[in-house]
Amino acid sequence: MFATPSIDAEPPLLEVEALSKRFVLHARDGLALEVMRELSFSLRRAECLVLDGPSGIGKSTLLKLIHGDYLASGGRIRLNFADGPLELTELPASAWHRLRARTIGYVSQFLRVVPRVPAEEVVIEPLLARGVDERTARDRAREMLARLNLPERLWRLPPGTFSGGEQQRVNLARAFVVDYPILLLDEPTASLDGANREVVIELIDRARRRGAGMIGIFHDPDVRERVADRRLALEGHLLGAREGIRR
């Protein structure tokens, strides 16, 4: 008898094994802050994994480790592509730019604005980086900004002076305008009103339907409930700062 291939036979999109992180505070006489110890989990295609756990437990740190903003102190992060696995913890610094442009989208808590670059160009940039022609990129960026209800009069202005919610919507447009296989969402609805929260929930549903794997932090319990396919409680795996300080 031959085994029937099933979707479960597919390797997970992302595998995290025994991931650890300690920050060494050089300005504090080399004090080490242990934030994560041997965390293991996996992320499948077409799912939204929601991180649970109290403030300071390491949720944002986990997203930053996967996005390559922080170096792991131990363990592995593996991406399984159709043509084989890629070990992110061994990736040279020069390869990260391409990986972020093509594979891992990230909505950070705060928009990192580049002075004088208008909102529309901020959203177009990841499309151009993926080789989309300028006309199509502009149309798609405008469509996404309109979908997120950013007033058209703001599109040609740099977002540095925008309100928190307006900046957050530029950030969201930049991440959702591209069909990233993996999306990391750090409080994407924190500064939004109810109507725009609904738009984000729809964008997450749409990303799930096209097969994206998402890891998200959502403080709003209603949003958390509605978007989560699975939850990952960090308490069991992580040390809070209280226990973590060691020399």
Where on the chain is the footprint of ligand ATP (CB under 6 A)?
A: 23, 33, 35, 55-61, 241
Task: Give the 3-state secondary structure percentages of the chain, helix then strand then coil, rounded to 5.
Answer: 40, 25, 35
Would you say 6 or 55 has its CB closer to ligand ATP? 55
Beta-bridged to residue 185, according to DSSP, are 107, 216
Would you say 153 or 242 has its CB closer to ligand ATP? 242
We find the least distance from the C-beta atom of residue 27 to ligand ATP, in angstroms, to be 10
We find the least distance from the C-beta atom of residue 22 to ligand ATP, in angstroms, to be 9
We find the least distance from the C-beta atom of residue 35 to ligand ATP, in angstroms, to be 4
Q: CA 62, CA 175: separation in Å to the nearest integer?
A: 18
Structure tokens at 42: 């996996």
What are the angstrom distances between the C-alpha of 37 and each of 12, 75, 236? 22, 9, 10
By DSSP bridging, strand 84-87 and strand 104-107 are: unpaired
We find the least distance from the C-beta atom of residue 240 to ligand ATP, in angstroms, to be 7
Would you say 123 or 227 has its CB closer to ligand ATP? 227
Would you say 124 or 214 has its CB closer to ligand ATP? 214
What are the angstrom distances between the C-alpha of 141 and each of 136, 154, 169? 9, 13, 12
Would you say 35 or 124 has its CB closer to ligand ATP? 35
We find the least distance from the C-beta atom of residue 57 to ligand ATP, in angstroms, to be 4
We find the least distance from the C-beta atom of residue 241 to ligand ATP, in angstroms, to be 4
Q: Cα(first)–Cα(last) distance of the chain, in Å? A: 59
Helix (H, G, I), strand (E, B) or coil at 77: strand
Pick from 123, 120, 81: nearest CA to 103: 81
Would you say 61 or 189 has its CB closer to ligand ATP? 61
Sequence-ordered alpha helix ranges (H) in the chain = 59-66, 93-102, 119-129, 134-147, 164-176, 194-209, 221-227, 241-244
